[in-house]
Amino acid sequence: METIIELREIRKTYRMGDIVVPVLRDVSLTVARGEMVALMGTSGSGKSTLMNILGCLDRPDSGVYRLDGEEMSRLSADQRAMVRNRKLGFVFQSFNLLPRTSALDNVALPLTYTAGHLSEREARRRAAEMLGRVGLEDRMDHEPSRLSGGQQQRVAIARALINQPPLLLADEPTGNLDSRTSEEVLAIFQELNHKEGITVIMVTHDANVARYAQQVIHIHDGMIVERTSGQAGFHAEEAT
Amino acid sequence: MSLGLKAYRTFRTALKALRRNPLRAILTTLGIVIGVAAVIAMMEIGAGSSAAIQKSISSMGANVLSVRPGAASSGGVTFGSGSTTTLTPEDCEAILRECPAVRAAVPLVHTRAQVVYGSRNWVPTFIYGSTPAYLDVQNWTVTEGAPFTDRDVANANKVCILGQTLVRELFQGESSIDKEIRIRNVSFRVVGVLRSKGANMMGMDQDDIIVAPWTTIKYRVTGEALADTNQSTSSSSGSTVNTLSNLYPGGQSDLYPDRSDVQAADNPMPVRFANIDHILAAARSTKEIPAAIDQMTLVLRERHRIRAGEADDFSIRDMTQMTTALSSTTTMMTNLLLSVAMISLVVGGVGIMNIMLVSVTERTREIGLRMAVGARGKDILQQFMVEAVVLCLVGGALGILLGHGGSQLVRLLLHWPVETSPVAIAAAVLVSASVGMIFGFYPAWKASRLDPIEALRYE
């Protein structure tokens, strides 16, 4: 199976004054295209840092990170911004939608930074299409304050998908949602993963959420301690 | 993406961001609005006042040029300006005819004598003989009666117009019109009274004046009609101040070259010609004063047959003091307005910077998100810069409207002179855009330097 993510001996340390805190210690990891992976770990385990590195928001101190076959750890800030725009979709725990901005405009936001080709109408059409895909075609002109948490997160997912990235990164996507809407959101992830072959990586500390993943990677003290198949993976394998 | 589309998108993003907090946007831009409004209003009212001041200064006679005959000198003694008698009324007519930069020119003779009315007498500072155009040159009008006419000048009629001081001193509140006064035992009928003008720049009372036809003063009062009379040697008072010139031969060349008998027979020259004390000319505008001086010099040199290289036998003076005052008033006014404008705009700019900094802090998460979805540092910089510039331009536009409206209101309610100044409007637009750029840069730069991870985590 084709690999989309390849991490080799990723190391990251933070300095707080004189104290050097190692956050990631020689993390090596491969994720195949089309997989749905959950990153689990307690707070302070380094899973957020790993997520930031995967999301090209941060650079490792040493090690190799290949995304889609390209080396990421040596790119400049502007080049990484371009990669984030084209190849990655982010979903955050706190949604991070622009206040007082319609759902449609929120979804179209990444297109602002696409050095591109899209006319205004085309951009709106695509944003509307993405909203339709997450089931919010009737909420396009609503501002975030008039949407429920689950709806807001679905807008955020639509935003993450607008540039059709191969990889979706979700940082505690259900952390601010109740269990019912959590299921809805996770169902969307699963559907995207199954139907469109988008690779999904979720950070979570909730085992119930991790259940939806095919693979669960446990991180502890900056190291990968365990890699297990999630139930979804089990089901998927069973199905094939 | 085409540049236009990108610019449009950036602009729209800025507008949307501003619309998300309209009250703050308005408060932010208020500094610029007030600043620009103040500038526009000040410029318009200032330009109006400046024009009004210029007008009133030029009405004081800033455009007046005075031509005086040169100095006579005799045996090493120079008698001062006006001591030769080289100016004639014909010179004055020639100036008026041949100098396009000259609006009006009048001959002037003056004397000093006692004026008597009934049992009262007075010695006015000025007894001037001139033509009716004198009033035009001096921007003067008659409040009572009428000025004398050109016919009075031609006939040397014994009429005169009086200044307010004389009316007060001689008539003590009575009407002076058609009364007879006597100047050196010549009886004059008063035909008009001049508007009060007050003191001139030298502190002399300008209302202490009698103006009469120059012919009357010349031939009937002073009685010095002969061309060869040197004023300094036979002054009207008959004093013997300059008798030295009788003892020593005159140092100056004759006014006209010697002529042979044949020449004299062929082309007889009037033995008597009238000389006048000086000529007052008014230039068409303050700007045309130098041109008027050049033209008058040319005409007079030709008429006085002065060869190239020889010195002028006359001198032309302008009211340098007044014109300097005029231009310095205007310059000072402009500088004052400019400094006020700068201060208010800087204050407005600081306001913009302050609020933009708050806005950057408040929108840290938004900046983090934008970076996460692919905004580069320069995209963020651009966004905040455009926001600041849009704020300033909108503020500038509002300020222009407000300032213009304000100055129009002042014009309507207070009747102050106002002049719309397109330069001020263009400058206001330019300055408010630059204020936006200068004071928007630091907050925008700060925003662009944020770390996306930190920014996303910011609470």
Note every long-range contact of B98-102, with CB atoms under 8 Å and residues 24 or more positions apart, other chains counting. Answer: B98/B295, B98/B299, B99/B281, B99/B292, B99/B295, B99/B296, B99/B299, B100/B295, B101/B283, B101/B284, B101/B288, B101/B289, B101/B291, B101/B292, B101/B295, B102/B65, B102/B281, B102/B282, B102/B283, B102/B284, B102/B292, B102/B295, B102/B296
Structural domain count of chain A: 1
- Cβ atoms B352, B28 nearer than 8 A: yes
**In this complex, is the C-beta atom of B387 within 8 Å of any C-beta atom belonging to chain A?**
no
The answer for A99, left when phi > 0, alpha when psi is -120 to 50, beta otherwise, is beta
- Cβ atoms A229, A215 nearer than 8 A: yes
3-class secondary-structure state, position A63? strand
CATH number at residue A213: 3.40.50.300
Measured CA to CA, the distance from residue A83 to residue B25 in angstroms comes to: 34
Give the tens place of pLDDT for each residue, B119-167. 889 999 889 999 999 988 888 889 988 999 999 999 889 999 999 998 9
Q: How many CB atoms lie under 10 A from the CB of residue B236?
A: 14
**What pLDDT sits at residue B237?**
43
Enter the tokens of residue B408: 């129009």
Indicate yes or no: CB of B373 within 8 angstroms of CB of A82: no
**What pLDDT sits at residue A235?**
47
Of A52, A55, A100, the CB nearest to B20: A100
**Nearest CA-CA partner of B69 in B221, B229, B245:** B229
- Cβ atoms A143, A99 nearer than 8 A: yes
**What are residue B66's DSSP bridge partners?**
B280, B317
Indicate yes or no: CB of B370 within 8 angstroms of CB of A81: no
Burial of A1 (0-12, 13-18, 19+ CB in 10 A): exposed
Q: Is the pLDDT of residue B245 over 50?
A: no
Indicate yes or no: CB of A52 within 8 angstroms of CB of B453: yes
The residue range of the domain holding A100 is 3-239
Of A57, A58, A81, the CB nearest to B375: A81
Give the tens place of pLDDT for each residue, B158-192. 999 999 998 988 988 788 899 999 998 889 999 99
**What pLDDT sits at residue B81?**
66
**What pLDDT sits at residue A232?**
57
% of chain B beyond a pLDDT of 70: 85
| Nearest residue of chain A to residue B378 (CA atoms) | A78
Q: Where are the beta strands (DSSP E) in B28-179?
A: 64-69, 73-74, 77-78, 102-111, 115-117, 120-122, 126-130, 142-145, 159-162
Give the tens place of pLDDT for each residue, B434-443. 888 899 999 9
Whole-model pTM? 0.68
Site from A96, A155, A157, A161 to mutate, B interface, most B CB atoms within 10 angstroms = A96
Q: Is the pLDDT of residue B273 over 70?
A: no
**What are residue A228's DSSP bridge partners?**
A216
3-class secondary-structure state, position B9? helix
The answer for A155, left when phi > 0, alpha when psi is -120 to 50, beta otherwise, is alpha
Euclidean distance between the first and the last CA atom of chain B, given in angstroms as a whole number:
35
Measured CA to CA, the distance from residue B236 to residue B221 in angstroms comes to: 10
Give the tens place of pLDDT for each residue, B65-112. 888 887 766 677 777 766 677 888 888 999 999 999 999 999 999 888
More confident residue, A37 or A232: A37
Least trusted range by pLDDT, from A69-73, A85-89, B47-51: B47-51
- Cβ atoms B243, B54 nearer than 8 A: no
Q: How confident is the model at residue B256 (pLDDT cuts 50, 70, 90)?
A: low
Of B21, B366, B377, the CB nearest to A77: B377
What number of H helices and E strands is found in chain B? Answer: 15, 14
Q: How confident is the model at residue B25 (pLDDT cuts 50, 70, 90)?
A: confident
Domain ranges across chain B: 3-57+326-457, 64-318
Indicate yes or no: CB of A112 within 8 angstroms of CB of B365: no
Q: How confident is the model at residue B258 (pLDDT cuts 50, 70, 90)?
A: low
